[in-house]
Chains A and B, each alone.
Chain A
């Protein structure tokens, strides 16, 4: 069966520090991968998605970037965090042949 992992689960970082969040998927190959941010405990904002290694599409211009160095690994990064980067970051995946997106457990990021 397929499993999606995210780490760390929680993170507290000072303003101006770098960021690296990791997402990995097990039990599938060539998934489509997605990064979402959920601020204020509610709406889901799509940040990036990837259809393959090295292929990244950005939905919202911002302080963040994404990379996909391996087929089942998706990384969200920032060189300098802003207060507004605080939120709940969710990774999701889907099979190319399926509509269904499966979400990971999320990373709670607090920027102080």
Chain B
């Protein structure tokens, strides 16, 4: 019930191409869906996040698409660049009203490699 399933495990894209990473969840109480980007040897950093009341959110080359009925969300990286090569994690959480038990449930990560 608490799992977030992420795919693919790894992805190789050519420079200028579109990278797409998908996540699916079961817990309908989740209402916050962030994506984190992690470079080797560094801590993850928040990339973009979405709430379920919108179907899409775009920030620069990064877009989250959200399908509430299918319980799926995805990250699209347009015009992928070698500098985007990193591990990407999706995550989900219940509302802040969950109180002291608030925590993020992470997917297992996708290693993205963008070839020049």
Q: If A103-B45, A104-B43 touch, does A97 touch B96 (CB 8 Å cutoff)?
A: yes
Q: If A32-B102, A49-B103, A108-B41 touch, does A43 touch B32 (CB 8 Å cutoff)?
A: no
**Complex interface: chain A residues within 8 A of B103 (CB):** 34, 46, 49
**Complex interface: chain B residues within 8 A of A49 (CB):** 103
Q: If A49-B103, A90-B43, A105-B42 touch, does A99 touch B109 (CB 8 Å cutoff)?
A: no
**Complex interface: chain B residues within 8 A of A96 (CB):** 96
Contact between chains at A51 and B96 (CB < 8 Å):
no
Q: If A44-B89, A100-B46 touch, does A51 touch B100 (CB 8 Å cutoff)?
A: yes
Q: If A51-B100, A99-B49, A101-B104 touch, does A43 touch B109 (CB 8 Å cutoff)?
A: yes
> Main SS of the interface on chain B?
mixed
**Complex interface: chain B residues within 8 A of A99 (CB):** 32, 34, 49, 93, 96
**Complex interface: chain B residues within 8 A of A44 (CB):** 44, 89, 106, 109
Min CB distance A94 to B, Å, is: 8
Min CB distance A5 to B, Å, is: 11
Extra A-B contacts (15), CB below 8 Å, given A42-B108, A99-B96, A102-B46: A34-B103, A41-B40, A42-B111, A43-B109, A44-B44, A44-B89, A44-B109, A46-B103, A55-B100, A90-B43, A96-B96, A99-B93, A100-B34, A105-B43, A106-B43
Q: List 19 A-B contacts (CB under 8 A).
A: A34-B103, A41-B40, A42-B109, A43-B106, A46-B104, A51-B100, A55-B100, A90-B43, A90-B44, A98-B96, A99-B32, A99-B93, A99-B96, A100-B34, A101-B104, A103-B44, A104-B43, A106-B42, A106-B43
Top 5 A-B residue pairs of the complex, sorted by shortest distance between their CB atoms? A103-B43, A99-B32, A51-B100, A43-B108, A44-B106
